[in-house]
Amino acid sequence: MDRSRLAKSEAVPRRFLLALGFTAVLAPLLFDAAAMAAAGHKSEDPDRVDFNRDVRPVLAEHCFACHGPDAADRKADLRLDIATGDDGAYRERSGAAAIKPGSLEDSEVWYRVTTEFEEELMPPPGAHGEPLDAEELDVIRRWIVGGAAYQDHWAFVPPRDREVPHAADPTWGQGPIDSLVLAGLQAEGVAPAPRADRRTLIRRATLDITGLPPTRDEVRAFLADEGPGAYGRLVDRLLAKPQYGEHMARFWLDLVRFADTNGVHHDHFRDLSPYRDWVIRAFNDGLPYDRFATEQLAGDLLPDPTTDQLTASGFHRLHLIIDGGTMLPEESLSRNVIDRVSSFGTAFMGMTLQCAVCHDHKYDPIRQKDFFQLYAFFNNLDGAPETGRRSGADFVRGLQPPYVRFPTEEQSARLAELTKQIEQAKSKLAAFEKGHAEREPLDAEIKGLQRERNGVETGVHAVMVMKERAEPRPAFVFERGAYDQLGEPVERDTPAFLPPLVKDDEGAAPTRLDLARWVVAPENPLTARVAVNRFWQQFFGVGLVKTSEDFGTRGEWPRHLDLLDHLAVSFRESGWDVKALVRRIVTSETYQQSSVAPPEAFERDPENRRLARGARFRLDAEIIRDQVLATSGLLSQEMFGKSVKPPQPAGVWKAVTLPDSYPRIFAPDVGEDIRRRSVYTFWKRAMPPPQMTILNAPGRESCVARRERTNTPLQALLLMNEEEYLKAARHLAMEGLEHGPKEAGARVDWLYETITARLPGASVRESLLAAAGDLEAMYGKDPTLALELCAGLELGGAFEAPEVAAWTMVTSAIHNLDVTRTRD
Amino acid sequence: MMSDRTTQENTPYLSRRGFLRSTSMGLGATALGALLPRSVASAQEGEPAPRAKRVIFLFMAGAPSQLDLFDHKPGLQKLLGEPLPESISQGQRVTAMTRGREQRIVPSMFGFQPAGKSGVEWSELLPHLSRQADRICVVKSMRTNAINHDPGKTFMCTGSEINGRASMGSWLSYGLGTMNRDLPDFVVLNSAFWTGGKRNVQGLYSRLWGSGYLPSKHQGVAFQTAGDPVLFLSNPKGVDAAVRRRMLDAVGDVNRAHLEKAGDPEIGTTIAQQEMAFRMQSSVPELTDLSGEPKSVLDLYGPEVHKPGSFARNCLLARRMIERDVRFVQLFHRGWDHHSILPKQLPGQCYDVDQPSAALLTDLANRGLLDDTIVVFAGEFGRTVYGQGKLARDDYGRDHHPRCFSAWLAGGGIQGGITYGETDDFSYNVVRDPVEVRDLHATMLHLLGVDHERLTFPFQGLDQKLTGVEEARVVKGILA
C-alpha cells in the first residue's frame, strides 16, 4: 500500500471536516459502529481483523512504549491499549479522538501514522522505531473501518472449554486433542502424517516420559505385544517408573534455577538437594499441580506443615545470594526479593513481572506499584540477605538459616551429650585464672569437643526453608527501581487486571498462602494455561504458545488457543493431575504421528507448529549423557541425595574461582557417583558442567522456561571426544564382542539396536561394517594406538586390542549419529 | 470490549510479523537459520560506514585506579588526609566497606609525564603504553551505574546489571556474522595468574561472555590455558586424525542416508558442524602454536609471553586470532581491586599488562591490522580519591567508584593522541563530556558499521539491545 497516496486521499479531508466543526455530529455513531463490528465477527470472513491477534501486536510494537500501560513514559495522556477511560483511545480531546470507530477521517491515529508531515508522523522518526509498513497500515485501516473493537488480552480472560467437534476422520483419534488438531489441519487442507512405526514410538515415548531410552528387551517386549492397547499399556508402565519423576523434575529445575552454588562473588557451595529430591518425588507420587504450586509458594504457612511441605518452600531460597560484607545488606535484600518475585512471575504466572521494577510495564497492565505489592509478599524472610560466616558446620554443608534440621535419634543424643560436655569443660575453665597451667588442656578439650560437635552436626539432614518474620517488613515502590529511593508505601496485593485476591482472614493482611491460593484458584486465567503449555512443550519441542515464559501481550499468540484452553480447563478439572495430562498427550494420535516428511514440509513449517507431523528435535544435554550411560549398561540406578561431580576437563573452574572459593578445585567423584543420572550433577553457577552447557543447558542463574537448541561444532567435539562417553562406548563394544553376535554384520545390528532402538537398514549396516573393517586394519598397523585406546581393559587374550579399538570407534560413531542424538 | 466468544475464535493463522519473529527466534534452532541473512543490520540503509571489522577488548577485572594511571590530579598532593568536601561527594552511595567511615583524600604517589607528540600525560607505571600515546585515546569521563564488582562487570560486558543478557561479543557475532569458517566468532582468554595481589580478587562468570537470549552459537568460547584450548578439541588417547577421519566418514555416510529418508534439513546442519569440528581440530592447534613466531615478535611482548596463561601470551594469541578474522577477542585480567597496599600491588599489575598491550598495538600496526581493529582497555568502574587501609602517602588503598573512571581505545576509526572528557579536581565527578557504558557500546558498534538502535533481538516482549533502554550516543569526539 502506498503511504503517500493514503495520506493525501484520506487524511486531508479529515482535517477539513475538523476545521468545519463536523466531528460533534459524527460522535453518536460510535456505539453503532461498535455494534456493527461485533456483528461482523459472526462471519468467518478471511479479512476479519481480530484485535488480539492482528491489531495489538502492531500497536504494541509501534505505539505502546509511549501510549501504553506505563504511566511515567506516557505521552499526551493517551493510551492506545485501552478504549475507554480518561486516557483511553476513544475519548475525545480538543474535538478529536485518537480512534473513532468506523471512521478513518476522524481517527487522529490514522492521520498520524500516514501523514507526510514528518513532524506529525507517528511513531516519531528516529529513535522511536520504524514507521508502520503497508501491511500493518492495512490492519489498522480495516480495524478502524470495521469498528475498532478492543478485546481483553486473551491470556487474561479465563480459559473456556468449548464443545469439541468429533474428528471428521474415523481412522484418527476421537479425543479432544486430536479433534481440534485435525480440524485445524483440515482447514488448511493438510492431512496428518501416518502413525510412526512401533520402534520409533517406544523410543519416543520412553525418552519423553523417563528421559532414558528403552532397553533392547523393552523394545522386543513391546513389538511382541500385538494386542489392542499395547501402546497405552506401555505408557502406563513408563509413567509408573521412578525415572519419570527424575525426568520431569529436570524441566522444573531449569524453571526455578536450581543449582548447587550461591551464584555470586565466591560462588560458594549451597545445598538445596532436598528440594530437588522433593520435586522428583512430587512428580512420581502424582502430587496434584495445585498442591505442587501451593507447597512451594507457602508450604511453611500450611497448618502443621510436613517435612515435605517445608522442603518445598525452599523454592524461595533458590535465588542468587552474595557473600556477607560485600554489598550493602539492604541492597542485597532488594536483589533477593526482586529475584524471588521474578521467578514467581515466570514459573507460575508466565509473566515478565521484572519488567515493572523500574517503571510501569511497557506492554502489560502491570504497574510498578503492582510489582511492589507482590514484592511485599516475598520480602519477609526471617534470615539474613547475605551468606553467613565462612566457617562452621553451616558453611561446610552449604546451609544458610533459616533451615529445618532432621537429626536422627542417635545424632540428637550425641549432640546433646557433646553440648553438655562442652558446658562442663567451660565451667571448669572459668574456675582457673588466666595463665593457670590447667587452662591449656581444658582449652584443647573444649576445641576437640566443639570439632566433634561440628562433625556430627554436619551430618544432620537439614533443609533450607522459607520462614516469615513475626513483624512484616514494610514495602515501598522503589523510585526508578533504586532500592535506596523509597517511594509510596504499598500493601500486599495482586495486580488489578487479574481476579481479586481472596483472604483467608478478612481482618488481617493477606499472606503468602492467600497468594498461593490465588494462583491456583479456578478464576486465575494464567496458571493452568502456563503449566499445560510447558508440559506440551516438553513433548512437542515447542509450546502451543511458543513464548512459554511470557503470556503477556508481547508473548506469542497461541497457535491453537482452543486446544490450549481445552487442556487448561480439563487439567484443572482433573484435579490438576499431571500424569493424566501426560498420558492424554502421549496417547493422542497427534503425538504418535511419524516425523518423517519431505524437505518442503520442514521448510514450510520448520518447528512443526501446525502439528501435521510428529515432533523431531535434538535431545537435551542430560538425556544425551544419560543415554550413553544407560545403553552401555553403566547408568547408576541410585536416586536422590547430594549432587555429584562426574569428571570434566581439568582446569575449567580455574578461570572463575577465587583463592577462597568453596569448593575451589573441581575434584571429580569416583565409582558409581560418576555414573548417576545428570539430574544429580553438581551445578556450579559460575561455570556449570561443560558437557551440559555446550548442549544448551542454562546456567541456572535465572529462570528458564524453555531451552534453545543449537547445532554447533563444539557439540560435535563434545560427543566425539568426551572421555567418559568414549569409555562408555568401549564398555558397550566389549559387551558386544563378549556377549553379542559373533558375526560382524549381526554385531553392527546389535550395537545399533542397543543404542537407537532401531535396526539399521542395509546401507547403514554396510557403512558401519566397512568402517569396522577399515578401523581394525588401521589399528592393526598401529598396535600402540590400539593399546592406548584399550588402556585399563583386561582383554584376557580373548580379544586383540585392534579389534576392541575398532569396535569402540564404531560404537562411538553410532553415539554421534543424528538418529541417536535426536528424538524423532 | 469484545465478547468471550470472539476471543475464543482462532483460526490457524500466521501473521507476517509472527512469522518473522518465529523464524528469528528460531535462528540456529533449525536449518532455516542458515538461510537468513548473515548480517541483520548492515544491509539497512542509513547505517554508518564501517571503520573496523574486529575488536579486542582488554578487560581489567577488579577496576584499576584511574587516579594512579590515567587521570592526573596534581592538585591533590597537598590534600593528603583532608576530608573529601561534601560538595564533591554529594551523598554518594558507598560500599559496605566505606559506609560509616570518614572519607579522607589520598593523592597518587606515582608520577605522570607528557608522552608522544601529543603530550598526553601518562603514569610512570605504564612506560610502554606511554610510548604508544599517539595511537591511543584516553577517555577520562567513563561512568557506570554499579558500585560492586559483579553487577559492574556484568554491566560492562552485557549492557545490563541483570544476569542473563547477551554479551558484547555475542551481539557482534549475531549482528555481523562470521568471517572465518574454521574458528569461533567470539573468543575469551582469561589470564591464569596476575602479579598484583591475590587478596581481593573476584570470580569471573561465564555469563560475562554468554549469549543470554541470543542463540547460543553466538556465545564466547573461552579458551583454556591448560589442556585443550577449546574444550574437547583433542582426540582422546588411542584416536589419531586418520581414525577420526574414518569414523567421521562413516558417521557422515549414515547421516546422509538418514537425511534422504527423514527429510529434516537439520540433519544437514549436523553433518556440516561435524566437519567444522574436524577442521577445528587442526585450525585451533595451528592458532595456538607459537613456534613460528620470530624472536623479535616474542620479545616485543616481554618475558611473560613464554608462560601459558599470561596476559602477554594472551595478547599474542589475540593478535593471531585477529589475523584469522575472529570477530571479537576478549581478555580478562584480574587482580585490580586495590582496597589496600595499592602502591605495592599496582606496579605488578601494570607489569602484567603494560608491555603486552603496547606490543599488541605495535604488532597489529606492523601487520596493517590496527586500521580495522578496535582495541579497548577498561575495567568495570573507577576508584575513590578517598583512601582505605593506611592513609600514608606511600601506603593506601581505594574503594569502588562508579561516578568516573578511565578507559582507553585505539585502532580502527579512533583518534589517537587525545584525551576525552574531564573530571573534577578530585577525579570524583565527570564535569565534561560524560561517557556512559552504553555510549561506549554504541561507539564500538558505530565503528563496526552498526547502528546500535537497530541491532535488536526480541525477548521478554522487548526488542532487546546491547545499549539498553536509555538513550545511548555515539561518542563522536573520539572518532578519527
Instruction: Give the ipTM.
Output: 0.84
Q: Is the pLDDT of residue A25 over 50?
A: no
Chain A residue with minimum CA distance to B309 = A655
Closest CA to A468 of A383, A374, A340, A381: A381
Q: For residue B189, what is its C-alpha cell?
A: 582468554
CA atoms in the 13 A half-sphere facing the CB of A115: 20
Report the distance separating Cα A227 and Cα A283, nearest Å: 30
CATH of the domain at B313: 3.40.720.10
Tell me, yes or no, if B253 comes closer than 8 A to chain A by beta carbon: yes
Q: For residue A499, what is its C-alpha cell?
A: 481476579
Residue B1 lies in a domain: no
Shared domain for B285 and B183, answered yes or no, is no
Shared domain for B214 and B255, answered yes or no, is no
Q: What percent of chain A lies above the pLDDT cut of 70?
A: 94
Query: Which of B11, B31, B215 is nearest residue A708 as measured by Cβ atoms?
Result: B215
Tell me if B206 and A699 make a contact (CB, 8 A cut-off).
yes
* pLDDT value of position B41: 37
Q: For residue A645, what is its C-alpha cell?
A: 561431580
Tell me, yes or no, if A187 comes closer than 8 A to chain B by beta carbon: yes
Q: Is the pLDDT of residue A8 over 90?
A: no
Mean of pLDDT values over A65-72: 83
* Digit-coded pLDDT (tens) for A625-642: 999 999 999 999 999 999
Tell me if A813 and B150 make a contact (CB, 8 A cut-off).
no
Query: Which of A659, A716, A778 is nearest residue B242 as measured by Cβ atoms?
Result: A778
Q: For residue B292, what is its C-alpha cell?
A: 613460528
Query: How many CB atoms within 10 Å of residue B11?
Result: 12
Which has more pLDDT, B36 or A726?
A726
Question: Number of structural domains, chain B?
Answer: 2
How many Å lie between the alpha carbon of B282 and the closest alpha carbon of chain A? 12
For residue B472, what is the DSSP state? Answer: -
Segments in chain B below pLDDT 50: 1-44
Shared domain for B237 and B207, answered yes or no, is no
For A429, the 3-state DSSP assignment is helix
Stretch 158-197 of chain B: residues touching chain A, C-beta under 8 Å = 162-164, 190, 192
Q: For residue A805, what is its C-alpha cell?
A: 579399538
Shared domain for B114 and B134, answered yes or no, is yes
How many Å lie between the alpha carbon of B96 and the closest alpha carbon of chain A? 5
* Digit-coded pLDDT (tens) for B420-438: 999 999 999 999 999 999 9
Query: Which of A362, A616, A721 is nearest residue B236 as measured by Cβ atoms?
Result: A721
Query: Which of B11, B21, B238 is nearest residue A785 as measured by Cβ atoms?
Result: B238
CA atoms in the 13 A half-sphere facing the CB of A81: 26
Query: How many CB atoms within 10 Å of residue B187?
Result: 25
Report the distance separating Cα A105 and Cα A141, nearest Å: 11
Q: Is the pLDDT of residue A5 over 90?
A: no
Tell me, yes or no, if B149 comes closer than 8 A to chain A by beta carbon: yes
Pick left, alpha or beta for residue A85 (phi over 0 → left; psi -120 to 50 → alpha; otherwise beta).
left
Q: Which of B294, B323, B342 is the last residue of a domain?
A: B294
* Digit-coded pLDDT (tens) for B31-71: 223 323 333 334 445 678 899 999 999 999 999 999 999 99
For B108, the 3-state DSSP assignment is coil
Report the distance separating Cα A513 and Cα A380, nearest Å: 13
Given the C-alpha cell 525418552, which residue does it identify? A207
Q: Is the pLDDT of residue A304 over 80?
A: yes
Residue B13 lies in a domain: no
CA-atom Rg of chain B in angstroms: 24
Using pLDDT thresholds of 50, 70 and 90, give the confidence band for residue A46: low
A593 to chain B: which residues are within 8 Å by CB?
Answer: none
Report the distance separating Cα A210 and Cα A244, nearest Å: 4
* pLDDT value of position A11: 34
Closest CA to A370 of A358, A356, A380: A356
Report the distance separating Cα A267 and Cα A656, nearest Å: 9
Shared domain for B240 and B173, answered yes or no, is no
CB distance B5 to A562 below 8 Å:
no
B162 to chain A: which residues are within 8 Å by CB?
Answer: 354
Using pLDDT thresholds of 50, 70 and 90, give the confidence band for residue A340: very high
Chain B residue with minimum CA distance to A719 = B232
Chain B residue with minimum CA distance to A355 = B460
* Digit-coded pLDDT (tens) for A547-564: 999 998 878 888 899 999
Tell me if A606 and B21 make a contact (CB, 8 A cut-off).
no
Domain carrying residue B257: 233-294
A720 to chain B: which residues are within 8 Å by CB?
Answer: 232, 235, 244, 247-248, 274, 277
CA-atom Rg of chain A in angstroms: 32
Q: What percent of chain A lies above the pLDDT cut of 90?
A: 64
Q: What is the dihedral of CA A808, A811, A812, A814, to 10 degrees?
A: 160
Q: Is the pLDDT of residue A621 over 70?
A: yes
Mean of pLDDT values over A55-76: 84
Using pLDDT thresholds of 50, 70 and 90, give the confidence band for residue A9: very low
Shared domain for B280 and B338, answered yes or no, is no
How many Å lie between the alpha carbon of B74 and the closest alpha carbon of chain A? 32
Tell me if A702 and B225 make a contact (CB, 8 A cut-off).
no
Shared domain for B320 and B396, answered yes or no, is yes
Mean of pLDDT values over A76-94: 86
Instruction: Report long-range pairs for A197-202 (Cβ below 8 Å, ≥24 apart).
Output: A197/A594, A198/A222, A198/A223, A199/A223, A199/A757, A199/A758, A199/A759, A200/A594, A200/A595, A200/A614, A200/A758, A200/A824, A201/A231, A201/A592, A202/A234, A202/A757
Shared domain for B62 and B181, answered yes or no, is yes
Tell me if B236 and A327 make a contact (CB, 8 A cut-off).
no
A556 to chain B: which residues are within 8 Å by CB?
Answer: 18, 21-22
Closest CA to A450 of A496, A413, A418: A418
Residue B248 lies in a domain: yes
Residues 6+ apart with CB under 8 A from A156: A365, A497, A498, A525, A526
Mutate which: A559, A590, A602, A808, vs B, most B CBs within 10 A: A602
CB distance A626 to B39 below 8 Å:
no
Tell me, yes or no, if A597 comes closer than 8 A to chain B by beta carbon: yes
* pLDDT value of position A587: 97
A721 to chain B: which residues are within 8 Å by CB?
Answer: 232-236, 239
Mutate which: A708, A758, A764, A809, vs B, most B CBs within 10 A: A708
The three-state DSSP-derived secondary structure of A213-240 is: CCCHHHHHHHHHCCCCCHHHHHHHHHHH
Report the distance separating Cα A313 and Cα A449, nearest Å: 34
Q: What is the dihedral of CA B286, B290, B291, B295, to 10 degrees?
A: 150
Report the distance separating Cα A568 and Cα A529, nearest Å: 5
Cα distances (Å, whole numbers) of residue A139 to A55, A56, A561: 6, 10, 21
Q: Is the pLDDT of residue A468 over 70?
A: yes
Q: Is the pLDDT of residue A120 over 70?
A: yes
Report the distance separating Cα A695 and Cα A722, nearest Å: 13
Which has more pLDDT, A104 or A294?
A294
B259 to chain A: which residues are within 8 Å by CB?
Answer: 818
Residue B7 lies in a domain: no
Residue B27 lies in a domain: no
Q: Is the pLDDT of residue A377 over 60?
A: yes
Query: Which of B192, B247, B271 is nearest residue A809 as measured by Cβ atoms?
Result: B247
Shared domain for B275 and B330, answered yes or no, is no
Report the distance separating Cα B79 and Cα B102, nearest Å: 15
Report the distance separating Cα A767 and Cα A706, nearest Å: 37
Query: Which of A264, A716, A822 is nearest residue B150 as measured by Cβ atoms?
Result: A264
Stretch 339-398 of chain B: residues touching chain A, C-beta under 8 Å = none
Tell me, yes or no, if B263 comes closer than 8 A to chain A by beta carbon: yes
Shared domain for B221 and B288, answered yes or no, is no
Query: Which of B23, B95, B263 is nearest residue A601 as measured by Cβ atoms?
Result: B263
| Averaged pLDDT of chain A | 89
* pLDDT value of position A70: 81
**Which residue type does B256 have?**
R
Report the distance separating Cα A270 and Cα A321, nearest Å: 10
How many Å lie between the alpha carbon of B136 and the closest alpha carbon of chain A? 29
* Residue spans per domain, chain A: 3-151, 408-459, 721-823
Phi and psi at residue B211, to the nearest 5°: -100, 0
* Digit-coded pLDDT (tens) for A702-719: 899 998 888 888 999 999
Report the distance separating Cα A192 and Cα A594, nearest Å: 9
Q: Is the pLDDT of residue A18 over 50?
A: no
Give the least confident one: A320-324, A609-613, B457-461: B457-461
Report the distance separating Cα A557 and Cα A458, nearest Å: 51
Q: For residue A399, what is its C-alpha cell?
A: 546451609
For B243, the 3-state DSSP assignment is helix
Tell me, yes or no, if B294 comes closer than 8 A to chain A by beta carbon: no
Stretch 203-232 of chain A: residues touching chain B, C-beta under 8 Å = none
> Residues, chain B, total?
480
* pLDDT value of position B8: 26
Using pLDDT thresholds of 50, 70 and 90, give the confidence band for residue A362: confident
Shared domain for B258 and B146, answered yes or no, is no
Query: How many CB atoms within 10 Å of residue B234?
Result: 17
Tell me if B222 and A655 make a contact (CB, 8 A cut-off).
yes
* pLDDT value of position A411: 95
Give the least confident one: A311-315, A318-322, A441-445: A441-445
Mean of pLDDT values over A422-450: 88
Shared domain for B253 and B215, answered yes or no, is no
* pLDDT value of position A439: 86
Q: Is the pLDDT of residue A796 over 80?
A: no
Query: Which of B29, B205, B232 is nearest residue A718 as measured by Cβ atoms?
Result: B232
* pLDDT value of position A584: 97
Residue B435 lies in a domain: yes
Tell me if B12 and A824 make a contact (CB, 8 A cut-off).
no
Query: Which of B7, B198, B267 is nearest residue A154 as measured by Cβ atoms?
Result: B7
